[in-house]
Amino acid sequence: MSYLDYHVAQVPTGWRKILYLNWPLVFLVTAVSCIGFLMLYSVSGGDIDRWAGPQMERFAVGMVLMFALAFVPIWFWRSISVASYVICVGLLVLVEVMGHVGMGAQRWLVLGPIRIQPSELTKVAFVLTLAAYYDWLPVEKVSRPFWVLVPVVLILLPTGLVLMQPDLGTSIMLIAGGGIVMFAAGVSLWYFAGVIAIVVAGITAVMESRGTDWQLLHDYQFRRIDTFLDPGSDPLGAGYNIAQAQIALGSGGWSGRGFMQGTQSRLNFLPEKHTDFIFTSLAEEFGFVGAGSLLMLYVLILGFCLYSALTNRDRFASLMTIGIAGTFFLYFSINMATVMGMLPAKGSPLPLVSYGGTSLMILLMAFGIVQSAHVHRPRG
């Protein structure tokens, strides 16, 4: 459905909007976040003020924002999509000029008491822009070369800026997230086959560039690849993180060691136990049952988002919901694959569970936009 076909009379108004919220999605997001609170309490050794308390406060604020955004009409998100994209690109440029350096990368902007990571905002903003673009573009033009080039440029511009920080993981997520929206919009599969061929050629070029004057990755990124291919090559150095994570995963067994009984986290063998590697703490304490239950909750969140998208007759809202759901999928799948040794370490948080302000708030606001699309979808 195009912008001009949107009829306000077809959607609920006033207080009745609360009846049309995607309540299963609200409960599932809350359930996953509560698991996060429990794990943050556990890995802190029972100190609720260290990580769990601040995370609960952020969650409360984020939920208020989610409900507030759910009441915003869908036409508003369409109208600000381009402006949000331009602002995020501008913030990424500012990161290069005056960004705060942390853990070897320049990824944050410090604005008084607030520290934000513009790349996290960009993951949502460019989904809105791509959805608005394909809502405007006639369906018969979706796979024509010129009209395919436009979204490719929209994706590559912020991706290039994020790569300069450097943040390879987020760059991959931006490209993959954009590809999901393009696929949902109906772009020909031949273009995706071409991209796969380019990726294979790019990986070959990256590996061949190692040790040359035109080396394409930083040394620490190559060390991550080496560790991924052979974690035992440096078990006390570059391979330490993944080795300890795999010990935690394996020691959990079927039902785990018990709440607050994980030795890897309690004895501080497990690195970044409250952020990137919190999934391994969960698996150690609650075993396969606990880890599988969390994964099932994630899958259910995806399912309700996709159901909302597929039953929405507004093309912009549908593509936007699919794009946000795809970004959420990339979040948890990359984190889980990384800590299980299936991908090189990249520093990706587990959504709604890991400790952190920016990622949690952005995700809850993104789910608020999904709720807005669900509430204001044309009915009747």
* Residue 181, pLDDT score: 95
Strand order across the 105-111 sheet: 100-102, 105-111, 114-116
Tens of pLDDT, residues 124-171: 999 999 999 999 999 999 999 999 999 999 999 999 988 887 777 788
Q: Is residue 2 part of a domain?
A: no
Highest mean predicted confidence (pLDDT) among 99-113, 153-167, 253-267, 307-321:
307-321
Q: Write the burial class of residue 60 (CB in 10 Å: 0-12 exposed, 13-18 middle, 19+ buried).
A: exposed
Lowest pLDDT segment from 161-175, 236-250, 333-347: 236-250
Q: What's the whole-number mean pLDDT along residues 161-186? A: 88
**pLDDT of amino acid 104:** 54
Q: Do the domain assignments include residue 3?
A: no
Give the pLDDT confidence score for residue 233 in this predicted structure: 67
Q: How confident is the model at residue 232 (pLDDT cuts 50, 70, 90)?
A: low
Whether residue 380 lies inside any domain: the answer is no
Query: Does residue 80 fall inside a structural domain?
Result: yes
User: Is the per-residue pLDDT at 270 higher than 60?
Assistant: yes
Average pLDDT over residues 316-343: 91
Q: How many domains does the chain have?
A: 1
Least confident of 20-29, 95-104, 366-375: 95-104
Report the candidate in 236, 81, 99, 111 with the shortest Cα–Cα distance to residue 167.
99
Q: What integer pLDDT is reported at residue 1 of this predicted model?
A: 47
Q: Say if residue 242's pLDDT is above 50.
A: yes
Across the range 29-51, mean pLDDT stands at 91
Q: Does the residue 370 lie in any domain?
A: yes
CA 154, 159, 163: angle at the middle one, nearest 5?
160
> 4 falls in which pLDDT band (50, 70, 90)?
very low
pTM of the model: 0.89
Residue 278 placed within a domain: yes
Give the range among 21-25, 127-131, 235-239, 346-350 with minimum mean pLDDT.
235-239
Question: Would 1 be classed as within a structural domain?
Answer: no
Share of the chain above pLDDT 90, in %: 48
81 neighbors 75 (Cβ within 8 angstroms): no
End-to-end CA distance of the chain: 14
The dihedral built from the CA positions of residue 67, 311, 299 and 167, taken in this order, carries a sign that is negative
**Mean predicted confidence (pLDDT) in 6-11:** 56
Residue type, 156: L
Task: Report d(CA 8, CA 6) in Å as an integer.
Answer: 7
Question: Bigger pLDDT: 359 or 345?
Answer: 359
Range of the domain at 38: 8-375
pLDDT (tens digit per residue) in 101-117: 655 555 677 777 777 88
Structure confidence by residue, pLDDT tens digits, 87-99:
999 999 888 887 6
**Cα separation, 26 vs 245, whole angstroms:** 31
200 is a domain residue: yes
**Contact partners, residue 86, CB within 8 Å, separation at least 6:** none
How much is the pLDDT for 237? 66
pLDDT band at residue 324 under the 50/70/90 scheme: very high
Q: What is the mean pLDDT of residues 294-321?
A: 95
Q: Which of 210, 297, 262 is nearest to 27 (CA)?
A: 297
Amino acid identity at 328: F
Q: Residue 86: its pLDDT value, please?
A: 94
Average pLDDT score, the chain = 85
Residue corresponding to tokens 């995607």: 22
**Maximum mean pLDDT: which of 167-181, 223-237, 308-322:** 308-322
Residue 380: the pLDDT is: 62
